[in-house]
Amino acid sequence: MRMRVFKQTGALAAGTVVGGFLAYAFFAMATRTLGAGRAAPVSVLWTYWVITAAILTFPLQHWTIRLLAEGAEGTLARSRKRIWAGTAVASAVSALLTYLARDVLFHDPSPAYPAMAAAITVGAAFSGLVRGGLAGRRRYAATGISMAAENLLRVALGVVVALAGGGAVAFGLALVAGPFSGFLWLSSLRFEGRNAAEAESIASPLALASGLAAGSLIAQVVLTGGPVALAVMGGTPQQVTSLFLALALWRAPYLIALGVAPQLTLGLSRAALAGDNQRLRKGRRWTLVTVLGAAGVAFLAGATIVDPVLRVVFGPDVVLDWETLALIGAGTVLAVGNLVLLLLMLAVGTSRPVNRAWLGAVIVAAAILVVIPLPPTDRVATAFMAAQVTAFTLLLTAPLREIRAATLETDATSPSPLGM
């Protein structure tokens, strides 16, 4: 059994790592082919893709896993029309907004990039449902392959574009095409809804997905928005780039955790649906101990070895002091813990603690950025760390109240713990 779990986790982690390398390869190809200036519109589309992944892909993926763990395929079947209707509205809104701002965002008057923004929105929802359908049925190898296939398709199309001498629009289309590699696993979207009275332990499944989307988006903004905040506060271009590179380096373990998260979601959901509060509390304690220990190691690494590594990999122009690197390292480990605790909230069928935690984290970070009289880089790093600590503390204490309430709701509305 342990060997099987190890192989499943390895398949998910491998898919994430390979997909990450391919993503960097695609962007490097676009930049080297077009030059930094002409590749700017592709960068904007890439940024929008990251945002839609936080708003749509992640919540829909884990929401689908949660419902499949419950055996509530009927809920998924009945929700499809509303999901796609909402996605269509979001796509139209994104197309309209990017069209109105096309000159500022893309420096291009054509409707090509707004159309691609709409397509990215659709692809993000499609990708989340496909991966959720695969992981929810324990097809972890297929889930890992689907993660890698998205960027493999982009790279393959990017090679064709580069050889053909295509421009930014062509690379943008290659970026857009990635999620539609999910058509290889279209069967994962077949949900049986024959029993109209099928158990639904979540009073409003789509409200849960929407709540998770809000929390996930705020978490991603906090995790990746440091360079933007530093630029607004008057940081030099060298400092902004250095902070971006440091965050990118520390983000590697977070991306791996994100990749193996589907397996964790399924396990936590089954425990919650079975009323196994002891297992959920044990998971919370394990998260606390592991994150605190890893954060200490990351702080020490940031204070000692990360600066030389950054200079060797990215060149001698990286300028960050050891305190900043140490805070970013420890904060990123806490971000992994926040991801695990978010999945715990999803397992018990609630998103309220997630939104409360990240609202509190944003308030704390904003107060530090505005009030604390530190140099810009130190202030951003301190705000980042404080936001992660605040969210972790609030999420860690929430299960003491939320697990019992959510479990009682499940017992009251479900004829069987597993919805069978």
Domain match, 284 and 151 both = no
Radius of gyration over every alpha carbon of the chain, rounded to an integer in angstroms? 21
| Residue 94: predicted pLDDT | 92
Domain match, 168 and 301 both = no
Residue 209 lies in a domain: no
Domain match, 221 and 358 both = yes
| Residue 234: predicted pLDDT | 83
Instruction: State how many domains the chain has.
Output: 2
What lies within 8 Å, CB to CB, of 268 at 6+ separation is 280, 283, 343, 344, 346, 347
| Residue 36: predicted pLDDT | 63
Dist. CA 132–CA 76, nearest whole Å: 11
Q: Which two tokens stand for residue 132?
A: 């959720």
| Residue 414: predicted pLDDT | 37
Residue 125 lies in a domain: yes
Domain match, 123 and 232 both = no
Dist. CA 272–CA 81, nearest whole Å: 28
CB 159 within 8 A of CB 29: yes
CB 343 within 8 A of CB 261: yes
| Residue 4: predicted pLDDT | 58
DSSP state letter for 415: S
| Residue 130: predicted pLDDT | 94
Ranges of the chain whose pLDDT falls below 70: 1-9, 36, 193-209, 313-314, 399-420
Domain match, 322 and 226 both = yes
Burial of 103 (0-12, 13-18, 19+ CB in 10 A): exposed
Question: Whole domain around residue 224: which residue ranges?
Answer: 215-413
Dist. CA 113–CA 217, nearest whole Å: 23
Q: Which two tokens stand for residue 416?
A: 């069987």
Q: What angle do CA 37, 40, 43 make, to 5 degrees?
A: 145
| Residue 383: predicted pLDDT | 94
Burial of 197 (0-12, 13-18, 19+ CB in 10 A): exposed
CB 181 within 8 A of CB 150: yes
Taking the model in full, what pTM does it have?
0.74
Burial of 278 (0-12, 13-18, 19+ CB in 10 A): exposed
DSSP state letter for 42: H
Domain match, 237 and 283 both = yes
Q: What angle do CA 223, 225, 226 make, to 5 degrees?
A: 90
CB 161 within 8 A of CB 170: yes
| Residue 126: predicted pLDDT | 95
| Residue 295: predicted pLDDT | 94
What lies within 8 Å, CB to CB, of 363 at 6+ separation is none
Residue 267's nearest CA partner among 12, 14, 23 is: 12
Domain match, 284 and 408 both = yes
Dist. CA 226–CA 215, nearest whole Å: 18
Burial of 207 (0-12, 13-18, 19+ CB in 10 A): exposed
Domain match, 368 and 224 both = yes
Residue 419 lies in a domain: no
Residue 418 lies in a domain: no
Residue 207 lies in a domain: no
CB 348 within 8 A of CB 62: no
CB 402 within 8 A of CB 345: yes
